Amino acid sequence: MFAALKPQAPDKILALMGEFRADTRQGKIDLGVGVYKDPTGVTPVMRAVKAAEQRIWQTETTKAYTALAGEPAYLAAMGRMVLGDAQDGARTASLSTVGGTGAIRQALELARMGNPDVTVHVSDPTWPNHLSIMQFMGVPFVQYRYFDAATRGVDFDGMKADLGRAKRGDLVLLHGCCHNPTGANLTADQWAEVADVLDRTGAVPLIDLAYQGFGDGLEEDAAGTRLIVSRAPEAMVAASCSKNFGIYRERTGMLMVQVADPAARDVAQGTLAYLNRQTYSFPPDHGARIVQTILDDEGLAADWRAELEEVRLGMLALRGQLAGELRALTGSDRFDFIARHRGMFSRLGASPEQVQRIKEDAAIYIVGDSRLNIAGLNRDSVPVLARAIVDAGV
């Protein structure tokens, strides 16, 4: 049986992590995988997370199973955080998942159960694992234009034209904020136009919201998602707590499914629970309980929001510094897009050869498509990166 297995192509982001670890050069800089690092290079446990864990440890009396769809109080708290007033409780089913990736996977499974002929429209480019999961599942997808290589902004005319070709019953995968891998995002007006296109085509939005709070703020980053959900009859939202709560390894996420008619909600809810049961049975609880403990406690929530805001402002300052260094080195404003981008990532627009050169000459690791993780920088490494970018001829 196992002799017939064929090697799988490694995930390029995870492969880069391994390459970085194996590099023995002093001063190497990892701007690959999307993990936040503070100015000392550490991915900290947030203060509110530590406090919540302590509280859970002191008060938890059982590790018996919770609900198949996940702890209801967690789902309710997340629903409020992600959708706010845009949530229509009577039409929304929710599922606790194994991270945001688990939510994407279950969303695709559900879509396929609802429409075996579903085609998924995904941005070009997108998070590589989106494509990989769909390939693995055998779910057909097409890419819509998204990134404008010249401006490093959004090619909105191209995006609209391509999304206009979606059919009723198709799925349109959108990044709610902090687009991964480009850092280029839609404006509020553009979100409204996307809602119009969805309206016209009857395609169902699936919004991947993995970085809420890392772009323009916790509320601001959810604005596009809320608009789409309030306009679309049917919609799905896959939310991740990995980044904004810094609980990557706890694998904490949620899928929300909005149905058109309240009468269909219970069947959707039951189907979601069924999907969990078939995949891994009960979802993990520890991360969900941390998040719920924080969100349902005024003091902890305020402290968490304050720390998240420090993280966000730190990334914005690094963006400004990097754009400034590059302006000084090149005597031009052609890298100013770095300051305009939002979230953890920016796509530089460098060629694979230039990315390779930056790695070989400066021991700086960025993903091959020239996505760099801003949160892997600090004040001292920014000038080193700026120099390496210029030296590589980007």
- Closer residue to ligand LMR, CB minimum distance, 180 or 252: 180
- Closer residue to ligand LMR, CB minimum distance, 97 or 180: 180
Single out the residue of 20, 36, 74, 127 in contact with ligand LMR (rule: CB under 6 A).
127
34 binds ligand LMR (CB under 6 A): yes
User: x/- binding map, residues 144-183, to ligand LMR, per CB under 6 A?
Assistant: ------------------------------------x---
Contact set for ligand LMR, span 176-215 (CB under 6 A): 180
The alpha carbon torsion through 105, 228, 249, 342 (nearest 10 deg) reads 130
Report the candidate in 338, 321, 300, 21 with the shortest Cα–Cα distance to residue 153. Answer: 338
Residue 128 beta carbon to ligand LMR: minimum distance, rounded to whole angstroms: 8
- Can you read off the two tokens belonging to residue 91? 């039409």
Residue 129 beta carbon to ligand LMR: minimum distance, rounded to whole angstroms: 6
Residue 210 beta carbon to ligand LMR: minimum distance, rounded to whole angstroms: 6
Residue 132 beta carbon to ligand LMR: minimum distance, rounded to whole angstroms: 10
User: x/- binding map, residues 2-21, to ligand LMR, per CB under 6 A?
Assistant: -----------x--------
For residue 9, which amino acid is it?
Answer: A
Q: Among residues 86, 166, 239, 243, which one is catalytic? A: 243
Q: Answer whether 156's CB lies under 8 Å from 188's CB.
A: no
76 binds ligand LMR (CB under 6 A): no
- Closer residue to ligand LMR, CB minimum distance, 129 or 378: 129
- Beta strands 364-365 and 29-30, pairing class: parallel
DSSP type of residue 384? H
Radius of gyration over alpha carbons of the chain, in Å?
21
Is 386 one of the annotated active-site residues of the chain?
Answer: no
Is 127 one of the annotated active-site residues of the chain?
Answer: yes
Residue 13 beta carbon to ligand LMR: minimum distance, rounded to whole angstroms: 4
Report the candidate in 46, 49, 43, 50 with the shortest Cα–Cα distance to residue 17. Answer: 43
- Closer residue to ligand LMR, CB minimum distance, 33 or 133: 33
Query: In which region does residue 249 sit, left (phi positive, over 0), alpha (psi from -120 to 50) or beta (all else)?
Result: alpha
33 binds ligand LMR (CB under 6 A): yes
Is 37 one of the annotated active-site residues of the chain?
Answer: no
335 binds ligand LMR (CB under 6 A): no
- Closer residue to ligand LMR, CB minimum distance, 204 or 355: 355
Q: Answer whether 332's CB lies under 8 Å from 114's CB.
A: no
* Coil/strand/helix, residue 18: helix
Q: Among residues 208, 350, 362, 363, which one is catalytic? A: 208
Report the candidate in 98, 29, 15, 47 with the shortest Cα–Cα distance to residue 246. Answer: 47
- List, in sequence order, every residue forming a beta bridge with 372; answer none if it has no partner: 346
Distance in angstroms (rounded) separating the CA atoms of residues 274 and 231 = 28
Q: Any residues with CB less than 8 A from the CB of 163 and at least 6 apart, and which?
A: 121, 144, 172, 194, 197, 198, 201, 203
Q: Among residues 203, 210, 222, 273, which one is catalytic? A: 210
| Residue carrying structure tokens 């694992």 | 129
- Closer residue to ligand LMR, CB minimum distance, 253 or 283: 253
Which residues are catalytic, by number? Answer: 127, 208, 210, 243
Contacting residues toward ligand LMR, per CB under 6 A: 13, 33-34, 127, 129, 180
